[in-house]
Chain A
Amino acid sequence: MRPIANTRSAAGIPTGRLAVWWVLASEIVIFGGILASYIMNRLSHDWWADYAANTSTPIGAFNTFVLLTSSLSAVLAHAAAERGDGKLAARRLLYTIAGGGVFLCVKAYEWTMEISHGFTISANGFWSFYYTAAGVHASHVIAGMILMAFVARDAAKNAELHRVELVGIYWHFVDVVWIFLFPLLYIAK
């Protein structure tokens, strides 16, 4: 059913991967809009540092560790897919999905603690940005986990192995966003 158009590559790069890069370009400006708004507000409200002091660096650091490690298993899945080992690639993608699951559970615990201390999304500007930025990021984690489940299902049957790399690129991007959110929300105090 795939059209011939899909198999051409006049731009010197497979169509699927080209599309993923375009998706990432459009995601950069979405996160860029939130982060630019946050940074200009943060710079003009120096006392937001006091609010930021209530975020938990250990939890944020643990989640960074989880995401970095899930990225490792995603790239290892890509390596397995390159060798044509779909079963191994699928298993490694499942590890990545599990990493995303741990990330979300930790996030849920963290937010529950903060909300129970009165740091709700409407408490003040800092907490509004905190929940909005991390929430938009978390929604990307969920989307990535769902996509990865479909790719892993196919990869286990040795089908559509090139998609292992594509979903991996997306996952690494979500990781990179978190690499910047971590200092912005947790470390700068």
Chain B
Amino acid sequence: MADHAHEEHSEQHYIRIWAILLALLVVSILGPMLEIQAVTLVTAFGIALVKAYLVVKHFMHLNVQPQYVTYLLATALVFMLLLFAGTAPDVMKWEGQHWSKPANERPASDAGGSHH
């Protein structure tokens, strides 16, 4: 047990995790080159989740904290999902019975997108 903890905190271990993170970074950059949207989503956000997991577990040592710390952070995330769920139906809606958001249509020409 003590040996294991020692290994977890050893410098080689941290460098190994860092190398994995860099490899994942390369995959997430290469992913979009296949030009398949589903693959891009997985390589972009799936890999972001894996990277975040590695950093949180091995660099921040969340796994050796008391359990309630994890619950605390998870609760904050759940509240953000709740915010999204309650807000998105309105913000993502562009027209209703007596109203519409006219500015919310694709502009014909736009300074922000014209310089490819």
Contacts and interface: CB of A to CB of B under 8 A. Distances in A.
Complex contact flag A–B (Cβ < 8 Å) = yes
A16 interface: no
A86 B38 CA distance: 48
Determine chain A's interface SS by DSSP, over half rule. Answer: helix
Contacts of A148: none
A76 B48 CA distance: 22
A187 B111 contact: no
Interface in A45-98: 45, 47, 50-51, 53-54, 57, 61, 64-65, 68-69, 71-72, 74-76, 79, 82
A28 interface: yes
Interface in B85-116: 87-88, 91-92, 94, 104, 106-107, 110-113, 115-116
A3 interface: no
B10 A79 contact: yes
B55 A13 contact: no
A182 B27 CA distance: 13
Contacts of B88: 40, 43
A44 B92 contact: yes
B94 to A, nearest CB: 7
Interface stretch (A101-109, A115-123, A134-142, A151-159): A115-123
Chain B CB count within 10 A is highest, among A29, A53, A68, for A68
A44 B94 contact: yes
A64 B113 contact: no
Interface residues of A, number: 60
A39 B80 CA distance: 12
A91 to B, nearest CB: 14
A25 B14 contact: no
B111 A76 contact: no
A47 B113 contact: yes
Interface of A: 11-13, 17, 21-22, 24-26, 28-29, 32-33, 35-37, 39-41, 43-45, 47, 50-51, 53-54, 57, 61, 64-65, 68-69, 71-72, 74-76, 79, 82, 117-119, 123-124, 126-127, 168-169, 172-173, 175-176, 179-180, 182-183, 187-189
30 contacts: A21-B65, A25-B76, A28-B73, A28-B80, A35-B80, A37-B91, A44-B91, A44-B94, A45-B104, A47-B106, A51-B113, A54-B112, A54-B116, A57-B32, A64-B25, A68-B21, A71-B18, A71-B55, A75-B58, A76-B14, A82-B9, A118-B115, A123-B110, A126-B112, A172-B59, A176-B56, A179-B52, A179-B55, A183-B44, A187-B43
